[in-house]
Structure 1
Amino acid sequence: MYKKISFEDFKKIMSYDITKKQTCIEIEFCVDNYETYQTSWLGKMIDKETNQVVYWFGLTEDGSQAYDYDSFDKFSNAKVFNGKSLNEIWNKVSLISIDACDIEERLQFYLGKS
């Protein structure tokens, strides 16, 4: 089941400190009325070579639209959606899964609410 959340809640999820548990955040999503972005991914991980946090997009299944950023601000404002940023199109974004799990379960984990 697809779910829309506020950009504030999304920022809270993406601010989770992944360095403590050496984990990652992976969100599958789609963008309303954008045929290209019906199975897209975004997340946050640790670059194994630099040990720095990386925010990333994998927008198409063929890997042709993959982008990495070193800050949430650059990530959320990058114009990778046909000249628009994630911030600009957020109202059209529906989450499909978080960390390959049920959305409600993961929202509870990241936000402490359902």
Structure 2
Amino acid sequence: MATSAVPSDNLPTYKLVVVGDGGVGKSALTIQFFQKIFVPDYDPTIEDSYLKHTEIDGQWAILDVLDTAGQEEFSAMREQYMRTGDGFLIVFSVTDKASFEHVDRFHQLILRVKDRG
């Protein structure tokens, strides 16, 4: 399939918010997607945003990915992230059962925040 040149203006922007417990790999997944490298070291994130021109269903768009803090001390910021998100990626670690058990909590919070919006 031939790809067309990336248009530079008037592109729709979609915000994807990456959430999950601290230390589960949110930043590692995000960096792998954007930079094609794996970062094995854990460095707690407060907030990082990444932009990428990409094709979604055959249409060019800007994907704005927000890599959020998983630590509980930043939980007050979560609702603000969730209000502005168009899509969400809930991440857990296969080696941390509690992080998997918290997936439903994140899902319910997203539903509650988006329902109020």
TM-score, scaled relative to structure 1: 0.27
Q: Which has the higher contact order (CA 8 A, sep 6+)?
A: 2
TM-score, scaled relative to structure 2: 0.26
Give the structure with the larger helix fraction.
2
